[in-house]
């Protein structure tokens, strides 16, 4: 994801927990896997103020329209309308059954049918959460999926043949094809919230609630009504629609500046009733403004620390803050353009990409650029949080650990005159195994331009390091930066279909951040031929087959097979991926361990200790 | 004077129309897909088509311009692609706050700069003149972000006397006055950069006026020094300041992007900057139009005020 939820909002989840027996009925016992023990006696109530840099949510309806790419809206809504499957259990990349809305989820008929039994939880208005709430969501999306931002081509709801509700707590989904259950649960069901049909199935503010969603025209009218209401920022905190929630929090105040606050949903049915009495989200224009506030020890209880400022952490600790980091759920990379007229023929050669990867000093980038707060980028799956998805190859550093010697040997073995510090040239053109390769003429220089988004100091440093270490093998890199949105706007997808195209001509290598993963770090949508995220035109029938096996197959070995193949074939050049670093007031308990997937903090499990609030 | 006013207003309208046309052309010359810039790299062709259709970007450019002009004439500046709000609302939220902040800093700069310039003029050529000029030029030449961070380090981080920035929840002008402590540093930082200009203009003008015959005559007639300064010297020497003030109106409307960024003050400067980065054309067009109007208005006000203060200009124009 290229629009990160900056700072606090990014990921965190506070899943600690512990016991809180002493505090007035708050059985916060379990939020899945948390194990940080609070220090000090819990205190009921209190307000936590969180910082968000650049945050300005602008839509409260949980099913965002397709033209709204504001990633901060999830922060606004997830505390009130959680997804059917709760992503992340503590720091583990698995579903969290305690926090999820289902009590059981079974697959049958060759993994084509899912039977979901819902927990006997209630909406904040006292109405039970039922299977009708699921069909409400399904009906809305079935008619309007083209206008739903989270819709992924071919997946929910298009892949659903029918939905049955044998009783009020059971949903049976018949899919049009078999899926790998892990993929579907992690990457599809964990993006769908349940919505209160009994309160939202209407077409106007004053009209009655009905079953409008059951016809296409009705579903369209309901969708349009809810979208219009959801975009009316002036009424976010007052509109009765948005007061019906099933999450632990409800909105109590909202300002268009991005300042808003939550108060507990007193009817929350889940295991973790909020202990705090209020959570305030306060916006900052820049990292600098936020850091100044932190250093002044004024109003913030939890805030992100920009990577450029991690050296101020000791000073913040002296001001009474503790530090935590949460891995960024994604993979960072340099994207090769396989169809650039000049660089494409070079980049299509695996040994060139291998030599370039050998020349990336990833451990140095982690330690010097990201001060240690980054995933090493050993391959397509992050090792900091991937756990069950990490193959032995990735765990042991990946196939191409930094080695200029190996890079130089590889280039020499393929007919290049290597000039460390200069520019290599092809001296043995031809298609034989020991030649430069098809389409490479004698004298061709090994040089590329790296285009990247400007304005991020850590990217500047990382790319300068990349340029520097590549030169050790004679690979000459020139750097060019552009404003991030300009880079996005001008990057055309280059593949066999689009080539030749003008949009393929103006970039060779590109570095723009990272690709976001859901719980299952599948390569679907990234590395398969014609994938939406495959802008550089990488294509391999073997890769397509391996990715299909992770998405549609049932073999537990399929994922490692895909992962190792991708790590070795280098559809992208792997880079370290920076983590999010946070500080929080030391008397605030329950903040860690952090959940990479929650997309927002989980303040329902936080509390102040008696030493102060 | 009436004809002079009519002519100047006519010129101003023509300039504003020119600004509209030029800005519209320039923003649409920006390379790449606007929809992709807003929706991200993974935007599918279907989603891009939906975006273009929603915002009318799939229509011919002249049609888009015609619709834009029609909407503007009806008070509709369009909807921000990224914020999802009417541009007029975004500007209406920010402009009054910017006016207060930048107005306060300009006022502070005037209060310091004008007497300082007069003081320098009266002591011109002396060590005192050099010390004052040197001091303000040093502050003027220092980048404002550096001054801001330095003052924050001293007064907020070290001594905890002043707030380092505005609390995130302030959205109204009333909110600014409710938290005056937070206004001190941004007003001071913004004023520092204006004082040198005001004082040096005032100094030069006053030195010139002090050499005029009417001052010498007044002195020869035994008019008291205080009366010479306030009644004769100040009124004539302040003319360049009026021009500068008029020309600073667009600055007030355009905001102060660095100060806004450091002091957590989401104003016009940041709005314009972010819209330029994110290809948010409606906001860019709206903000540019407002700034253009402020520029011609500032010039107009300066010209008129100049005419009022100096009858020779008024008479020459008629």
Give alpha helix (H) positions in A416-539. Answer: 457-471, 484-490, 502-505
What does the pLDDT read at residue A16? 25
Backbone phi, psi, residue A221, to 5°: -65, -40
A419 near A473, Cβ under 8 Å?
Answer: no
Reply yes or no on whether the pLDDT at A48 is more than 60: yes
Chain-chain contact of A532 with B165 (C-beta, under 8 angstroms): no
Reply yes or no on whether the pLDDT at A17 is more than 90: no
Which residues have CB under 8 Å from A584's CB, separation 6+? A301, A302, A303, A321, A322, A324, A591
A484 near A453, Cβ under 8 Å?
Answer: yes
Our CA-based measurement puts residue A303 at a distance from the nearest CA of chain B, in whole angstroms, of: 13
Reply yes or no on whether the pLDDT at A469 is more than 80: yes
* pLDDT tens readout for residues A307-333: 888 888 999 998 889 999 888 889 999
To the nearest whole number, what is the mean pLDDT of chain A?
88
Listed range (A15-24, A486-495, A500-509, B122-131) with the worst mean pLDDT: A15-24
> What is the rounded CA–CA span in Å between residue A201 and residue A197?
5
Reply yes or no on whether the pLDDT at A19 is more than 60: no
- Residue A2 pLDDT level (bands cut at 50, 70, 90): very low
H or E segment at A135?
helix A131-144
Reply yes or no on whether the pLDDT at A187 is more than 90: yes
Facing residue for A257 by CB, picked from B30, B39, B266: B266
Reply yes or no on whether the pLDDT at A32 is more than 70: no
Chain-chain contact of B165 with A289 (C-beta, under 8 angstroms): yes
What does the pLDDT read at residue B176? 77
B75 in contact with A, Cβ within 8 Å: no
Q: What is the 3-state secondary structure (H, E, C) of chain B?
A: CHHHHHHHHHHHHHHHHHHHHHHHHHHHCCCCCHHHHHHCCCCCHHHHHHHHHHCCCCCCHHHHHHHHHHHHHCCCCCECCCCCCEHHHHHHHHHHHHHHHHHHHHHHHHHHHHHHHHHHHHCCCCHHHHHHHHHHHHHHHCCHHHHHHHHHHHHHHHCCCCCCCCCCCCCCHHHHHHCHHHHHHHHHHHHHHHHHHHHHHHHHHHHHHHCCHHHHHHHHCCCCHHHHHHHHHHHHHCHHHHHHHHHHHHHHHHCCHHHHHHCCCCCHHHHHHHHHHCCCHHHHHHHHHHHHHHHHHHHHHHHHHHHHHCHHHHHHHC
What does the pLDDT read at residue A577? 95
B83 in contact with A, Cβ within 8 Å: yes
Chains A, B: CB contacts under 8 A, how many? 137
Which segments of A150-268 are extended strands (E)? Answer: 160-167, 170-175, 249-254, 260-264
Q: Among A288, A295, A308, A513, which would you mutate to test the B interface (most chain B Cβ atoms within 10 Å of its Cβ)?
A: A288
Section A430-456 average pLDDT = 94
Per cent of chain A over pLDDT 70 is 92
Nearest CA among A602, A607, A441, A609 for reference residue A87: A602
Facing residue for B50 by CB, picked from A67, A289, A490: A67
Per cent of chain B over pLDDT 70 is 96
Chain-chain contact of B32 with A297 (C-beta, under 8 angstroms): no
Q: Which residue of B has its CA nearest to A283?
A: B168
Residues of A in contact with B40 (CB under 8 A): 1-3, 69, 488
Chain-chain contact of A489 with B36 (C-beta, under 8 angstroms): yes
To the nearest whole number, what is the mean pLDDT of chain B?
87
Q: Which residue of B has its CA nearest to A56?
A: B83
Chain-chain contact of B171 with A147 (C-beta, under 8 angstroms): no
Reply yes or no on whether the pLDDT at A14 is more than 70: no
What does the pLDDT read at residue A279? 96
Our CA-based measurement puts residue B307 at a distance from the nearest CA of chain A, in whole angstroms, of: 42
* pLDDT tens readout for residues A341-352: 899 999 999 999
Nearest CA among A154, A151, A129 for reference residue A140: A151
For chain B, the residue count is 318
Task: Name which residue leads in pLDDT, A513 or B151.
Answer: B151
Chain-chain contact of A488 with B168 (C-beta, under 8 angstroms): no
Chain-chain contact of A257 with B265 (C-beta, under 8 angstroms): no
Backbone phi, psi, residue A102, to 5°: -100, 150
Reply yes or no on whether the pLDDT at A1 is more than 50: no
Residues of B in contact with A231 (CB under 8 A): 84
Q: Which residue of B has its CA nearest to A49?
A: B168
Q: Which residue of A has its CA nearest to B46?
A: A146
A163 near A171, Cβ under 8 Å?
Answer: yes
* pLDDT tens readout for residues A84-103: 999 888 778 889 999 999 99
* pLDDT tens readout for residues B202-257: 999 999 999 999 999 998 998 888 888 888 888 888 888 888 887 788 887 887 88
* pLDDT tens readout for residues A95-132: 999 999 999 999 999 999 999 999 999 999 999 999 99
Q: Which residue of A has its CA nearest to B150?
A: A292
Facing residue for B167 by CB, picked from A2, A299, A535: A299
Q: Which residue of B has its CA nearest to A289?
A: B262
| pTM attached to this predicted model | 0.86
A536 near A337, Cβ under 8 Å?
Answer: yes
Neighbours of A195 (CB within 10 A): 23
Facing residue for B50 by CB, picked from A66, A285, A289: A66
Nearest CA among B172, B163, B148 for reference residue B267: B172
- Residue B179 pLDDT level (bands cut at 50, 70, 90): confident
Q: Which residue of B has its CA nearest to A67?
A: B51
Section A427-454 average pLDDT = 95
Facing residue for B157 by CB, picked from A284, A296, A535: A296
Residues of A in contact with B57 (CB under 8 A): none
* pLDDT tens readout for residues A282-300: 999 888 899 999 988 778 9
Q: Provide the ipTM.
A: 0.81
Q: Which residue of B has its CA nearest to A486?
A: B37
- Residue A5 pLDDT level (bands cut at 50, 70, 90): very low
What does the pLDDT read at residue B318? 53
Chain-chain contact of B41 with A488 (C-beta, under 8 angstroms): yes
Residues of A in contact with B92 (CB under 8 A): none
Listed range (A66-75, A491-500, B145-154, B171-180) with the worst mean pLDDT: A491-500
- Residue B173 pLDDT level (bands cut at 50, 70, 90): confident
Give alpha helix (H) positions in A165-233. Answer: 181-187, 197-200, 216-230
Section B190-196 average pLDDT = 89
What does the pLDDT read at residue A24? 30
Chain-chain contact of B32 with A488 (C-beta, under 8 angstroms): yes
B90 near B82, Cβ under 8 Å?
Answer: no
- Residue A500 pLDDT level (bands cut at 50, 70, 90): low
Listed range (A33-37, A413-417, B64-68) with the worst mean pLDDT: A33-37
Neighbours of A438 (CB within 10 A): 11
The tokens of A71 are what? 């990633």
Section A361-381 average pLDDT = 95
Strands A260-264 and A170-175: unpaired
Section A378-394 average pLDDT = 90
Our CA-based measurement puts residue A53 at a distance from the nearest CA of chain B, in whole angstroms, of: 10
Neighbours of A556 (CB within 10 A): 10
Chain-chain contact of A2 with B40 (C-beta, under 8 angstroms): yes
A167 in contact with B, Cβ within 8 Å: no
- Residue A362 pLDDT level (bands cut at 50, 70, 90): very high
């Amino acid at each position: 994801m290229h629009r990160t939820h900056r700072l606090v909002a990014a990921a965190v989840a506070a899943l600690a927990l512990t016991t809180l027996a002493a505090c007035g009925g708050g059985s916060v016992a379990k939020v899945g896997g948390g194990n940080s023990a609070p220090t000090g006696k819990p205190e009921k109530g209190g307000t936590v103020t969180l910082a968000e840099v650049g945050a300005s949510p602008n839509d409260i309806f949980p099913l965002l329209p397709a033209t709204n790419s504001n990633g901060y809206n999830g922060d606004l809504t997830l505390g009130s309308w959680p997804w059917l499957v709760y992503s992340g259990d503590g720091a583990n990349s698995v579903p969290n059954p305690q926090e999820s809305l289902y009590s059981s989820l079974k697959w049958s008929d060759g993994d084509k049918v899912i039977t979901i039994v819902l927990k006997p939880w209630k909406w904040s208005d006292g109405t039970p959460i039922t299977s009708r709430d699921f069909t409400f969501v399904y009906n809305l999306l079935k008619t309007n999926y083209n206008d739903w931002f989270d819709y992924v081509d071919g997946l929910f709801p298009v892949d659903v043949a029918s939905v049955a509700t044998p009783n009020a707590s059971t949903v049976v989904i018949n899919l049009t094809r078999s899926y790998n259950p892990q993929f579907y649960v992690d990457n599809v069901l964990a993006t769908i919230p349940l919505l209160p049909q009994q309160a939202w199935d209407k077409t106007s503010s004053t009209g009655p609630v009905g079953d409008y969603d059951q016809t296409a025209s009705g579903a369209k009218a309901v969708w349009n009504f809810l979208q219009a209401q959801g975009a009316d920022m002036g009424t976010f905190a007052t509109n009765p629609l948005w007061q019906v929630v099933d999450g632990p929090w409800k909105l109590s105040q909202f300002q268009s500046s991005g300042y808003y606050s939550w108060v507990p949903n007193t009817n929350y049915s889940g295991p973790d009733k909020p202990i705090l009495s209020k959570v305030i989200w306060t916006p900052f224009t820049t990292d600098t403004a936020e850091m100044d506030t932190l250093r002044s020890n004024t109003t913030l209880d939890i805030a992100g620390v920009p990577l450029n400022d991690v050296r101020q952490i000791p000073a913040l600790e002296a001001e009474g803050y503790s530090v935590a980091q949460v891995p960024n759920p994604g993979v960072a990379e340099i994207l090769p353009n396989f169809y650039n007229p000049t660089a494409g023929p070079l980049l299509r050669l695996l040994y060139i990409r291998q030599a370039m990867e050998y020349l990336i000093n990833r451990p140095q980038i982690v330690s010097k650029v990201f001060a240690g707060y980054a995933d090493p980028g050993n391959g397509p799956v992050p090792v900091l949080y991937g756990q069950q998805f990490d193959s032995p190859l990735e765990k042991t550093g990946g196939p191409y650990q930094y080695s200029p010697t190996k890079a130089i040997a590889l280039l020499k073995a393929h007919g290049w005159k290597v000039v460390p510090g200069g520019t290599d040239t092809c001296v043995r053109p031809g298609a034989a195994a020991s030649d430069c390769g098809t389409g490479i003429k004698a004298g061709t220089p090994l040089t590329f331009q790296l285009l990247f988004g400007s304005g991020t100091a850590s990217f500047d440093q990382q790319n300068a390091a990349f340029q520097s270490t590549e030169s050790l093998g004679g690979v000459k890199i020139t750097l060019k930066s552009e404003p991030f949105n300009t880079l996005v706007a001008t990057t055309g997808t280059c593949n066999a279909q689009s080539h030749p195209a003008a949009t393929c001509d103006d970039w060779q290598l590109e570095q723009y951040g990272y690709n976001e993963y859901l719980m299952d770090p599948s390569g679907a949508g990234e590395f398969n031929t014609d994938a939406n995220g495959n802008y550089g035109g990488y294509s391999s029938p073997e890769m397509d087959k391996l990715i299909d096996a992770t998405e549609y197959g049932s073999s537990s070995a399929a994922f490692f097979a895909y992962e190792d193949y991708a790590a070795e074939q280098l559809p992208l050049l792997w880079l370290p991926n920076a983590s999010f670093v946070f500080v929080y007031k030391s008397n605030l308990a329950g903040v860690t361990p952090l959940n990479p997937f929650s997309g927002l903090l989980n303040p329902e499990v936080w509390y102040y200790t008696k030493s102060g609030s | 004077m009436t004809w002079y006013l009519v002519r100047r207003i006519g010129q101003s309208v023509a300039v504003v129309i020119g600004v509209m046309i030029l800005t519209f052309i320039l923003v649409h010359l920006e390379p790449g897909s606007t929809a992709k810039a807003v929706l991200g790299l993974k935007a599918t062709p279907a989603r891009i088509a939906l975006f273009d259709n929603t915002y009318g970007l799939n229509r011919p450019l002249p049609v888009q311009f015609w619709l834009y002009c029609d909407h503007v004439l009806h008070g509709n500046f369009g909807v921000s692609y990224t914020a999802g709000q009417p541009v007029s609302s975004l500007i209406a939220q920010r402009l009054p706050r910017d006016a207060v902040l930048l107005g306060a800093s300009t006022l502070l700069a005037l209060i310091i700069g004008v007497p300082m310039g007069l003081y320098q003029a009266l002591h011109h050529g002396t060590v005192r003149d050099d010390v004052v000029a040197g001091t303000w030029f040093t502050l003027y030449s220092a980048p404002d972000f550096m001054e801001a961070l330095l003052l924050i380090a001293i007064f907020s981080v070290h001594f905890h006397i002043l707030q380092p920035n505005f609390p995130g929840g302030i959205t109204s002008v009333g909110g600014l006055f409710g938290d005056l402590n937070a206004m001190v540093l941004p007003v001071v930082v913004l004023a520092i950069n204006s004082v040198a200009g005001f004082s040096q203009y005032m100094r030069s003008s006053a030195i010139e006026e002090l050499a005029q015959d009417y001052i010498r005559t007044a002195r020869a007639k035994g008019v008291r020094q205080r009366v010479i300064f306030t009644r004769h010297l100040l009124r004539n020497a302040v003319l360049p300041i009026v021009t500068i003030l008029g020309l600073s109106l667009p600055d007030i409307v355009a905001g102060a992007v660095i100060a806004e960024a450091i002091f957590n003050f989401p104003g016009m400067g940041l709005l314009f900057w972010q819209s330029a980065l994110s290809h948010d054309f409606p906001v860019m067009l709206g903000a540019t139009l407002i700034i253009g109007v402020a520029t011609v208005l500032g010039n107009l006000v300066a010209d008129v005020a100049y005419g009022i203060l100096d009858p020779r200009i008024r008479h020459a124009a008629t």
